[in-house]
Amino acid sequence: MAIKNDHYTYRVTWSVDDDEYVGLCAEFPSLSWLAEEPESALKGIRNLVADVVKDMAESKEKIPEPLASKNYSGKFMVRVPPDVHRALAIKAAEAGVSLNRLASSKLSY
């Protein structure tokens, strides 16, 4: 039974270890579902998440908010060693862009 208006983040990938497709949900990293077909892995993980959400609601546990529903500021801090910071600052200056723009372009790949 799938959740109505399910906005969770799902992914299906191949598992070499299990020799099957594995369905995953980013908001529930401890859950997975194995199946021979990718469509079955997706359906399986969605049904499993629905069951877990139902159980959590019944026991009044906090249910994870879908990543798609969260608001993001566009800001986060990344700590790097000073030599990496210097090298990036030099590359940004040589490219004629801000360090922020250089880092953003590198992270967007």
Question: Could you give the CA distance from residue 107 to residue 99 in angstroms, rounded to a whole number?
Answer: 12
Question: Could you give the CA distance from residue 9 to residue 6 in angstroms, rounded to a whole number?
Answer: 9
For helices 99-107 and 82-95, what crossing angle results, to 10°? 100
**At 6, is the pLDDT very low, low, confident or very high (cuts 50, 70, 90)?**
confident
Question: Could you give the CA distance from residue 20 to residue 17 in angstroms, rounded to a whole number?
Answer: 8
Question: Could you give the CA distance from residue 7 to residue 61 in angstroms, rounded to a whole number?
Answer: 19
Boundaries of every domain in the chain: 10-67, 72-107
pLDDT tens for each residue of 53-89: 999 999 999 999 999 999 999 999 999 999 999 999 9
**At 2, is the pLDDT very low, low, confident or very high (cuts 50, 70, 90)?**
low
User: Model's pTM, two decimal places?
Assistant: 0.74
In this prediction, residues 39-62 reach a mean pLDDT of 96
Instruction: Give the residue from 18, 2, 104 showing the smallest Cα distance to 53.
Output: 2
Beta bridge partners of 15: 20
Give first-to-last CA distance, the chain, whole Å. 36
